């Protein structure tokens, strides 16, 4: 019999961890959009980022082991797992993007990009 | 060649081999992979420092994190307890019990991460420089922390999964934050080239990640194995399993 709650938690943990991993590899290492550190970073942002970073890798390891444990007992609910993963990735984005980057002033999400282009200069002007 | 560095590592490996040989001679099982892992750990502890900050950091990651994980995986305390005569074993067990508080994971985490913060964020790094005793301290606190978190050897304090995971996450966070502060500001009283300092800080950050990922894997797989055993027991006895979460 599937254990829905446990399957969802396994998904949430895995989702948070996978999003943290993608953030680190894609935005930091491959695209270099994010910076390792910048001068706007606050102490609270740094501590929050450190904790979240540490929690992220633990979450993905433990989430996947939870999935393995549920599978061997034939108790995994696939739907709950997928839902959990989506919720976990979303929770990461909400916390990382809104709270850490904006409220706590951790490094910019992207540098050297005008977030409010004036009409005529950009390619996607809102009118005409 | 640094005597303080090489001799203890070689002696430790020789003692480990002597213990393993003793066990095998009387017919006990002691998997050969443990000898290999212990040897690799002793070799990692011999990593040379070099003159740059990056080299110093690489040495610390190997000495304080990689070597302890490999050594703990080889279960040296278990081997010691099984290899010595009964009287010595009793004395050793009393000694281990006395050291119980040190292997309570949060205590070990504070000792390990706190030492690093004191070293790099006070004048200690400038004062100690490349002292061999500093390396001994980094190795021993790393070993203590790894022993406490992994719980592979029979230490007195058998903290639960939550406590061990919390200590690991806390220490890893302290490590990551310290690495980021080193990226922007020098340890007091030390002059370093910017590129060297930043490469060293990134090495500390990502090197730490790799080892901490390994520690998380050890803890998680232990939990998986324990759940499997509890499940098998409940199937045999018909009693619902008790080992949860």
Indicate the SS3 state at residue B243.
coil
> pTM for the complete prediction?
0.86
Best B220, B221, B244 residue to mutate vs chain A (most A CBs within 10 Å): B220
The residue of chain B nearest to residue A66, with distances taken between CA atoms, is B224
Average pLDDT, integer, range B93-116: 90
For residue B190, which of B130, B116, B111 has the smallest C-alpha distance? B130
CA dist B11 and B42 (Å) reads 10
Q: For residue A64, how many other CB atoms are within 10 A of its CB? A: 17
Chain B residues with beta carbon closer than 8 angstroms to that of A41: 180
Q: What is the mean pLDDT of chain B?
A: 89
Average pLDDT, integer, range B172-183: 90
CA dist B234 and B230 (Å) reads 6
Largest CA distance in chain A: 61
Q: What is the pLDDT of residues B18-32, one digit of tens each?
A: 999 999 999 999 999
Ranges under pLDDT 50 in chain A: 120-128
- Judge whether residue B7 has pLDDT over 90: no
Q: How much is the CA Rg of chain A, to the nearest whole Å?
A: 18
According to the model, what pLDDT value does residue A125 have?
A: 42
**Beta carbons of B180 and A51 less than 8 Å apart:** no
Taken as a whole, chain B contains a residue count of 245
Q: For residue A31, how many other CB atoms are within 10 A of its CB? A: 10
Specify whether the CB–CB gap between B227 and A69 falls below 8 A: yes
| Residue B156 pLDDT class (50, 70, 90 cuts) | low
- Which two tokens mark B233? 């027991």
According to the model, what pLDDT value does residue B49 have?
A: 78
- Which two tokens mark B70? 């490999």
Shortest CB distance from B224 goes to which of A46, A53, A65? A65
How close does chain B come to A39, measured CA to CA in Å?
A: 8
DSSP string, B40-104: HHHHHTT----SSHHHHHHHHHIIIIIHHHHHHHT-HHHHHHHHS-HHHHHHHHHHHHHTGGGGS
Average pLDDT, integer, range B35-62: 91
Chain A residues with beta carbon closer than 8 angstroms to that of B224: 65, 68-69
């Amino acid at each position: 019999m599937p254990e829905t709650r446990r399957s969802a938690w396994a998904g949430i943990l895995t989702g948070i961890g996978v999003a943290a991993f993608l953030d680190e590899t894609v935005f930091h290492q491959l695209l270099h959009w994010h910076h390792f550190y910048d001068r706007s970073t606050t102490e609270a942002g740094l501590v929050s980022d450190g904790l979240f970073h540490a929690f992220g890798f633990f979450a993905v390891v433990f989430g996947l082991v939870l999935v393995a444990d549920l599978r061997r007992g034939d108790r995994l609910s696939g739907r709950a797992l997928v839902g959990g993963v989506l919720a976990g990735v979303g929770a990461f984005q909400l916390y990382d993007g809104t709270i850490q980057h904006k409220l706590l002033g951790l490094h910019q999400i992207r540098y050297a990009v005008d977030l409010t282009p004036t009409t005529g200069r950009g390619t996607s002007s809102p009118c005409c | 060649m640094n005597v303080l560095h090489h001799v203890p590592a070689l002696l430790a490996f020789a003692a480990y081999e002597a213990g393993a040989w003793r066990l095998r001679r009387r017919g006990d099982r002691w998997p050969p992979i443990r000898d290999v892992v212990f040897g690799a750990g002793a070799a990692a502890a011999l990593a040379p420092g070099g003159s740059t900050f990056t080299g110093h950091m690489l040495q610390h990651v190997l000495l304080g994190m990689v070597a302890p994980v490999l050594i703990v995986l080889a279960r040296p305390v278990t081997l010691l307890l099984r290899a010595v005569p009964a009287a010595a074993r009793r004395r050793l067990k009393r000694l281990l019990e006395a050291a119980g508080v040190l292997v309570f994971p949060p205590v070990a985490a504070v000792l390990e991460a706190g030492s690093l913060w004191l070293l790099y964020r006070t004048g200690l790094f400038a004062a100690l420089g490349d002292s061999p005793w500093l390396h001994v301290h980094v190795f021993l606190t790393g070993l203590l922390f790894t022993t406490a978190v992994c719980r592979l050897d029979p230490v007195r304090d058998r903290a639960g999964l939550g406590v061990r995971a919390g200590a690991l996450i806390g220490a890893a966070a302290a490590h990551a934050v310290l690495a980021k502060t080193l990226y922007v500001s020098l340890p007091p009283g030390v002059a370093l080239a910017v590129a060297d300092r930043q490469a060293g800080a990134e090495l500390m950050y990502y090197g730490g990640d790799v080892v901490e990922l390994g520690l998380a894997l050890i803890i998680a797989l232990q939990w998986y194995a324990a759940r499997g055993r509890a499940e098998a027991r409940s199937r045999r006895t018909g009693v619902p399993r008790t080992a949860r979460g």
